[in-house]
Chains A and B, each alone.
Chain A
Amino acid sequence: MAVKFSKHHGGWIIFATFAVAALFTVFPLPQWLESYRPEWVALVVIYWVMALPDRVGLFTAWIAGFFLDVLEGSLLGLNALALALVAYLALSLYQRMRMFTAIQQSSTILILVGIHQLLSFWVLTANNQNTAPNLIFMISALSSAVIWPFIFLGLRYLRRNFHVA
């Protein structure tokens, strides 16, 4: 066992999960599946805030959102703002969320990602870029909630296996 002086380690795992989430976000999907794409980066932000609130917080979420904006070619700051808000809400909820059952966690995710989606679309509307014909974009909050238990288990496995702290 190597002795480390820093109390933090496994930072590259956190970075890698964000990178993979960003990759999934831009991965080409068939047209009909596109609306169901979960908000991968938001889920990863919520997980790390829940697991390591002292390490991953508003700032990390904001930086991740910034690069997501560049990646998607969207309005610079849009995802940054939405993800920072999600991280803020998750920071105030993490103690409760750790105690929740899977169903309760998923419902919380539904609300958090729902807020994320609404905020993004409010901003886009304010900027005259909102081209969604109806509330179909909220579907991705649902798919995020459905996929959350698997994300949670997968990321927890990574965190424990690689001793991310």
Chain B
Amino acid sequence: MLGLALLSMIMMLADSRFNYLDQVRFYASYLVTPLHWLADTPRSISDSVNNNLQSRSYLIGENQRLKEQLLTQQYRLQKLEHLEAENDRLNELLNASSIVDERGVLAQVTGESPDPFIKRVLINAGSTDGVYIGQPVLDAFGLLGQVVEVEPYSSWVLLITDPQHLTPVQVNRNGNRAIASGTQDSLHRLTLNNISDTFDIVTGDVLVTSGFGGRFPAGYPVGVVTSVLHDPGEPFATVSVEPTAQLDRSRNVLLVFRGDAE
């Protein structure tokens, strides 16, 4: 018992403080990944059944809606391309480095952490797809989190609402910067740390990533401020933020690759 206890303690120390055991975990995960696939089969079966059993009229309607959506998006994209080019030119005038190109790779959420207090999800892309630790993960509505562990065919994503996760953000309206951290109580709440009472922030402000720290590219939506509380007895204001990403509902997520990296 003592020997095994000692061994586990040394392993935990090595795992939490150093990276010695990443290889061990990497190869051991070849053996356990099938279990994750198995655990996800009910969901993927129901997905495929749903896909196959849609009525014709529903599909026609959906097709119509998607076409309209595509049209409006393309219209916006044209404007965006123009703006991007203009922005690039202005940046060049200012001698700033040009903005890095980003592209996304689609992945699916196949599981979540069995521990209810650790907000992590499993996605079905791993090192064989070029996923790396620290990679930002988005869904259609905003920032979801970042990759914290990579296995051959899957990886773990720490959600932005985990209490251990901090996201550098800025207020879209005025560019004020802050740090958003997850909360213990809820999956759907972020708070801003150390916000002084004079900080210009109001309910309804949109927060986007600030790009500080170099982990998340700047400009992705993070959340919307739901309440700002100024308590004279507290040194800082209490700011609640609701994440825009659908943290518990997103099935399809986007892994962001930078430029030519792969």
Which residues of chain A are within 8 angstroms of B21 by Cβ–Cβ distance?
76
Q: Which of A43-51, A67-75, A144-152 is near enough to bind chain B?
A: A67-75
| B107 contacts A by Cβ under 8 Å | no
Interface residues of B in 97-130 (CB under 8 A from A): 111-118, 120, 122
Q: Which of A26, A35, A76, A80 interacts with B39 by CB under 8 Å?
A: A26
A27 CA to B40 CA, complexed, in Å = 7
Partner of A23, one of B9, B39, B112, B156: B39
Q: Which residues of B contact A37 (CB under 8 A)?
A: 114
Among A6-14, A99-107, A123-131, the stretch that binds chain B is: A123-131
A75 to B24, CA, bound (A): 13
User: Given the complex of chains A and B, what is the CA–CA distance between A74 and B28 in angstroms?
Assistant: 13
Which of B11-19, B69-77, B170-178, B206-214 forms contacts with chain A? B11-19
Cα separation A62 to B6 with both chains bound (whole Å): 12
Q: Determine whether A53 belongs to the interface, using a CB cutoff of 8 Å to chain B.
A: no
The interface residues of chain A, by DSSP majority, are classed as helix
Q: Which of A58, A123, A131 contacts B1 (CB 8 A)?
A: A58
Expressed in whole angstroms, the minimum distance between the Cβ of A92 and any Cβ of chain B is 10
Interface size on A, residues (CB 8 A): 41
Cβ of B162 < 8 Å from any Cβ of A? yes
Q: Is the CB of A71 within 8 A of B9?
A: no
Tell me the nearest residue of chain B to A127, going by C-beta.
B16
Interface residues of A in 113-145 (CB under 8 A from B): 123, 127-133, 136-137
- A interface residue numbers (CB < 8 A to B): 19, 22-23, 25-28, 31, 34-35, 37, 58-59, 62, 65-67, 70-78, 80-81, 84-85, 88, 123, 127-133, 136-137
Chain B interfacial positions (CB closer than 8 Å to A): 1, 4-5, 7-12, 14-16, 21, 24-25, 28-29, 31-32, 35-36, 38-40, 43, 111-118, 120, 122, 149, 156, 162-164, 184-185, 187, 248
